[in-house]
Amino acid sequence: MIQVENMTFGYGKERPIFSRLSLTFREKFNVIIGPNASGKSTFLKCLFGLLPAAGKIFYDGQDVKTMSHEEKMARIAYLPQEETKAAGFTVFEAVLLGRLPRLRWKVNDEDTAAVMRVLSLLHLEALAFVPFARLSGGQQKLVSIAQTLVREPHLVLMDEPTNSLDLQKQFELCETVRTISQAHGITFIMVLHDLGLAARFADEIFIFAPGGGLYAHGKPTAVIHPAMLREVYGVDAEVLRDESGIPIVAARASLRSHCGENLPSERKMC
């Protein structure tokens, strides 16, 4: 369980993005959604300690700020939006670097097995000995994810990991994360823009409001609805349900464009 108490952070003299933000992550696969500039990426950086936010963060009851660097790196992994830079390495070597804190002078069978296991999970095993520089952008993104997972952390923070992935690989990645979280008890906190992926795979969704702060959190069926899409995203949309009851967002129009001139009068905002 991850508890955030009274997180406050802002850049320079600007209005704080977060002001006394408190929330708790109890589920294994958590997804943060919200419009641009709502503080999603900033929140992950504060959570990992890359930005000096005020307030407290507890991981399983322990204050993260009291952890040693070694303990924190062993338990928590952070995958930013930026791609891994691994020029000159093969895919296998690039992923192996993820185990650097525990590597010895000689790579042992356990390290090799861990790398191949993660490559197999992400359908990359056929590329194990291909130079990283020869991969497509989407493949390089998957290698970055593999490098994070091979560390076998207890908590993984992922900032928009589906960027640059095609539709099939987006689904496979989210399925893999859900499988790993359930099978190994690893907690994931992932920022996504795709509401369909969030609704289909997340155990719990946290919605950040425009300008920062928490709008709502809960199960996908409880928090994805037309009123939220109007108030948070500024779009007129219908929320359908598939045969399993999973929400499907069908957007009609931006409420900012022409004041929603093609919308019925009761749905216009100006």
How much is the pLDDT for 259? 60
- The structure's pTM equals 0.87
pLDDT-derived band at 22, boundaries 50, 70, 90 = very high
The mean pLDDT value for 57-76 works out to 86
Check pLDDT > 80 for residue 14. no
Check pLDDT > 90 for residue 133. no
Answer yes or no: are the C-beta atoms of 181 and 188 closer than 8 Å.
Answer: yes
Give the mean pLDDT of the chain: 87
How much is the pLDDT for 27? 85
* 10 closest CA partner among 54, 65, 49: 54
CA gap 8, 240 in Å, rounded: 36
Check pLDDT > 60 for residue 267. no
Distances (CA, A) of 84 to 120, 137, 146: 19, 10, 11
Tell me: the pLDDT tens digits for 170-214? Answer: 999 899 889 888 888 889 999 999 999 999 999 999 999 988 789
Answer yes or no: are the C-beta atoms of 142 and 86 closer than 8 Å.
Answer: no
